[in-house]
Amino acid sequence: MGWPEDALSNDEEIISSFRPHWKLLFIPALWFIGLSVLIVLLGVYLDWVGWVINLALLGLMIWLVVRPLIDWYWTRYVLTTERLITRSGLIAKQGVEIPLENITNVNFSQTVIERVLGAGDLLIESAGTTGQSEFENIPHPDEFQALLYKVRERRSMELSGKTPPPPQDPAEAIRSLAKLHEDGLITDEEYERKRRELLDDM
Protein backbone atom coordinates (compact mmCIF):
# COMPACT_ATOMS: atom_id res chain seq x y z
CA MET A 1 0.00 0.00 0.00
CA GLY A 2 1.50 3.32 -1.07
CA TRP A 3 1.06 6.90 -0.01
CA PRO A 4 -1.41 8.39 0.87
CA GLU A 5 -3.35 5.22 1.76
CA ASP A 6 -0.67 4.07 4.20
CA ALA A 7 -0.79 7.43 6.05
CA LEU A 8 -4.53 7.43 6.82
CA SER A 9 -5.99 6.99 10.29
CA ASN A 10 -8.51 4.25 11.03
CA ASP A 11 -11.69 6.10 10.03
CA GLU A 12 -10.10 8.52 7.55
CA GLU A 13 -11.11 8.32 3.90
CA ILE A 14 -9.78 9.97 0.75
CA ILE A 15 -12.22 12.42 -0.83
CA SER A 16 -10.02 13.67 -3.68
CA SER A 17 -6.46 13.06 -4.81
CA PHE A 18 -4.74 14.66 -7.79
CA ARG A 19 -1.52 16.05 -9.22
CA PRO A 20 -0.93 19.66 -10.30
CA HIS A 21 -2.54 20.84 -13.53
CA TRP A 22 -1.08 19.49 -16.78
CA LYS A 23 -0.21 23.03 -17.93
CA LEU A 24 3.05 22.64 -16.00
CA LEU A 25 4.14 20.10 -18.63
CA PHE A 26 3.61 22.45 -21.58
CA ILE A 27 6.96 24.29 -21.38
CA PRO A 28 9.00 21.08 -20.77
CA ALA A 29 7.27 19.54 -23.81
CA LEU A 30 8.38 22.48 -25.97
CA TRP A 31 11.94 22.16 -24.65
CA PHE A 32 11.91 18.43 -25.42
CA ILE A 33 10.82 18.99 -29.03
CA GLY A 34 13.30 21.81 -29.63
CA LEU A 35 16.29 20.08 -28.05
CA SER A 36 15.49 16.76 -29.77
CA VAL A 37 15.48 18.42 -33.19
CA LEU A 38 18.75 20.19 -32.41
CA ILE A 39 20.41 16.98 -31.20
CA VAL A 40 19.39 15.10 -34.35
CA LEU A 41 20.65 17.87 -36.64
CA LEU A 42 24.00 18.11 -34.86
CA GLY A 43 24.41 14.35 -34.92
CA VAL A 44 23.81 14.20 -38.67
CA TYR A 45 25.76 17.21 -39.91
CA LEU A 46 28.68 17.56 -37.49
CA ASP A 47 31.65 15.39 -36.48
CA TRP A 48 32.83 14.56 -32.98
CA VAL A 49 32.45 18.19 -31.92
CA GLY A 50 28.75 17.81 -32.58
CA TRP A 51 28.59 14.79 -30.32
CA VAL A 52 30.27 16.73 -27.52
CA ILE A 53 27.69 19.46 -27.95
CA ASN A 54 24.97 16.80 -27.98
CA LEU A 55 26.14 15.52 -24.60
CA ALA A 56 25.79 19.03 -23.22
CA LEU A 57 22.32 19.29 -24.78
CA LEU A 58 21.32 15.99 -23.18
CA GLY A 59 22.33 17.39 -19.80
CA LEU A 60 20.26 20.48 -20.56
CA MET A 61 17.30 18.27 -21.50
CA ILE A 62 17.51 16.45 -18.18
CA TRP A 63 17.39 19.79 -16.36
CA LEU A 64 14.66 21.43 -18.46
CA VAL A 65 12.51 18.39 -19.26
CA VAL A 66 13.09 15.43 -16.95
CA ARG A 67 13.37 17.43 -13.70
CA PRO A 68 10.02 19.30 -14.14
CA LEU A 69 8.34 16.03 -15.14
CA ILE A 70 9.58 14.32 -11.97
CA ASP A 71 8.50 17.30 -9.85
CA TRP A 72 5.01 17.18 -11.41
CA TYR A 73 4.62 13.43 -11.03
CA TRP A 74 5.74 13.33 -7.40
CA THR A 75 3.56 16.23 -6.27
CA ARG A 76 0.17 15.19 -4.89
CA TYR A 77 -2.72 17.06 -3.35
CA VAL A 78 -4.98 14.94 -1.16
CA LEU A 79 -8.23 15.90 0.55
CA THR A 80 -9.44 13.44 3.17
CA THR A 81 -12.30 13.45 5.63
CA GLU A 82 -9.90 14.86 8.24
CA ARG A 83 -7.23 16.98 6.56
CA LEU A 84 -5.78 18.57 3.46
CA ILE A 85 -2.37 17.23 2.49
CA THR A 86 0.26 18.11 -0.08
CA ARG A 87 3.44 16.14 -0.66
CA SER A 88 6.22 16.74 -3.19
CA GLY A 89 9.67 15.44 -3.97
CA LEU A 90 11.15 12.11 -5.08
CA ILE A 91 14.19 11.94 -2.79
CA ALA A 92 14.08 15.11 -0.70
CA LYS A 93 10.44 15.29 0.33
CA GLN A 94 8.37 18.11 1.74
CA GLY A 95 4.72 18.46 2.62
CA VAL A 96 1.97 20.35 4.39
CA GLU A 97 -0.92 18.90 6.38
CA ILE A 98 -3.81 21.10 7.50
CA PRO A 99 -6.59 19.69 9.72
CA LEU A 100 -9.94 20.62 8.18
CA GLU A 101 -11.24 22.11 11.43
CA ASN A 102 -8.35 24.60 11.40
CA ILE A 103 -9.18 26.02 7.97
CA THR A 104 -10.73 29.47 8.32
CA ASN A 105 -10.78 30.75 4.74
CA VAL A 106 -10.11 29.52 1.19
CA ASN A 107 -9.55 31.86 -1.75
CA PHE A 108 -8.79 30.93 -5.34
CA SER A 109 -7.29 33.01 -8.13
CA GLN A 110 -7.14 32.48 -11.91
CA THR A 111 -5.69 34.44 -14.78
CA VAL A 112 -7.65 34.60 -18.03
CA ILE A 113 -5.53 31.85 -19.58
CA GLU A 114 -5.80 29.69 -16.45
CA ARG A 115 -9.58 30.03 -16.52
CA VAL A 116 -9.62 28.72 -20.10
CA LEU A 117 -7.35 25.82 -19.14
CA GLY A 118 -9.20 25.06 -15.90
CA ALA A 119 -6.29 25.82 -13.57
CA GLY A 120 -5.53 28.24 -10.75
CA ASP A 121 -4.15 28.72 -7.25
CA LEU A 122 -5.64 28.29 -3.79
CA LEU A 123 -4.70 30.39 -0.77
CA ILE A 124 -5.74 28.60 2.41
CA GLU A 125 -5.79 30.40 5.74
CA SER A 126 -5.79 28.30 8.87
CA ALA A 127 -5.60 28.72 12.59
CA GLY A 128 -2.49 27.70 14.50
CA THR A 129 1.11 27.75 13.34
CA THR A 130 0.38 26.97 9.68
CA GLY A 131 -1.01 30.43 8.87
CA GLN A 132 -1.34 30.76 5.11
CA SER A 133 -0.58 27.96 2.66
CA GLU A 134 -0.59 28.43 -1.11
CA PHE A 135 -1.50 25.50 -3.34
CA GLU A 136 -0.40 26.36 -6.85
CA ASN A 137 -1.67 25.06 -10.21
CA ILE A 138 -4.76 23.31 -8.89
CA PRO A 139 -7.08 21.77 -11.51
CA HIS A 140 -10.47 23.54 -11.35
CA PRO A 141 -9.74 25.52 -8.16
CA ASP A 142 -13.31 26.88 -7.89
CA GLU A 143 -14.77 23.36 -7.79
CA PHE A 144 -12.15 22.20 -5.31
CA GLN A 145 -12.84 25.24 -3.11
CA ALA A 146 -16.54 24.31 -2.94
CA LEU A 147 -15.70 20.67 -2.21
CA LEU A 148 -13.27 21.68 0.53
CA TYR A 149 -15.89 23.83 2.25
CA LYS A 150 -18.42 20.97 2.20
CA VAL A 151 -15.97 18.44 3.64
CA ARG A 152 -14.77 20.93 6.26
CA GLU A 153 -18.35 21.66 7.38
CA ARG A 154 -19.10 17.95 7.71
CA ARG A 155 -15.90 17.46 9.71
CA SER A 156 -16.80 20.33 12.05
CA MET A 157 -20.23 18.82 12.68
CA GLU A 158 -18.70 15.43 13.47
CA LEU A 159 -16.26 16.97 15.98
CA SER A 160 -19.06 18.91 17.65
CA GLY A 161 -21.09 15.72 18.08
CA LYS A 162 -23.76 16.66 15.56
CA THR A 163 -24.95 14.18 12.96
CA PRO A 164 -24.43 15.42 9.39
CA PRO A 165 -27.75 15.68 7.56
CA PRO A 166 -28.39 12.97 4.96
CA PRO A 167 -27.97 14.07 1.34
CA GLN A 168 -31.21 15.58 0.01
CA ASP A 169 -32.87 14.20 -3.08
CA PRO A 170 -32.20 16.80 -5.83
CA ALA A 171 -35.70 16.45 -7.28
CA GLU A 172 -37.29 17.05 -3.88
CA ALA A 173 -34.91 19.96 -3.27
CA ILE A 174 -35.96 21.58 -6.57
CA ARG A 175 -39.64 21.24 -5.60
CA SER A 176 -38.96 22.85 -2.23
CA LEU A 177 -36.98 25.59 -3.92
CA ALA A 178 -39.85 26.28 -6.35
CA LYS A 179 -42.25 26.58 -3.40
CA LEU A 180 -39.99 29.12 -1.72
CA HIS A 181 -39.83 31.07 -4.98
CA GLU A 182 -43.60 31.02 -5.39
CA ASP A 183 -44.01 32.31 -1.84
CA GLY A 184 -41.63 35.17 -2.60
CA LEU A 185 -39.06 34.08 -0.03
CA ILE A 186 -36.21 34.02 -2.54
CA THR A 187 -35.47 36.22 -5.55
CA ASP A 188 -35.52 35.14 -9.18
CA GLU A 189 -31.71 35.27 -9.29
CA GLU A 190 -31.33 33.13 -6.17
CA TYR A 191 -33.87 30.64 -7.50
CA GLU A 192 -32.13 30.25 -10.86
CA ARG A 193 -28.67 29.98 -9.32
CA LYS A 194 -29.69 27.36 -6.77
CA ARG A 195 -31.75 25.44 -9.33
CA ARG A 196 -28.72 25.19 -11.65
CA GLU A 197 -26.59 23.93 -8.75
CA LEU A 198 -29.14 21.24 -7.92
CA LEU A 199 -29.44 20.19 -11.57
CA ASP A 200 -25.66 19.85 -11.78
CA ASP A 201 -25.78 17.48 -8.78
CA MET A 202 -28.37 15.18 -10.38
Interatomic CA distance for residues 65 and 14, integer angstroms: 31
Residue range 96-135, pLDDT digits in tens:
889 999 999 999 899 999 999 999 999 999 886 667 888 8
Any residues with CB less than 8 A from the CB of 171 and at least 6 apart, and which? Answer: 202
Map out the domains of the chain as residue ranges: 5-20+75-159, 25-72, 170-201
Instruction: Name 133's bridge partners.
Output: 124
What pLDDT is recorded for position 165?
Answer: 58
Which pLDDT tens digit goes with each residue over 100-110?
Answer: 999 999 998 99
| CATH numeric code, 5-20+75-159 | 2.30.29.30
* pTM above threshold 0.75: no
Choose between 170 and 37: higher pLDDT: 37
Q: What are 53-95's pLDDT values in tens digits?
A: 888 889 999 999 999 999 999 999 999 999 999 999 888 788 8
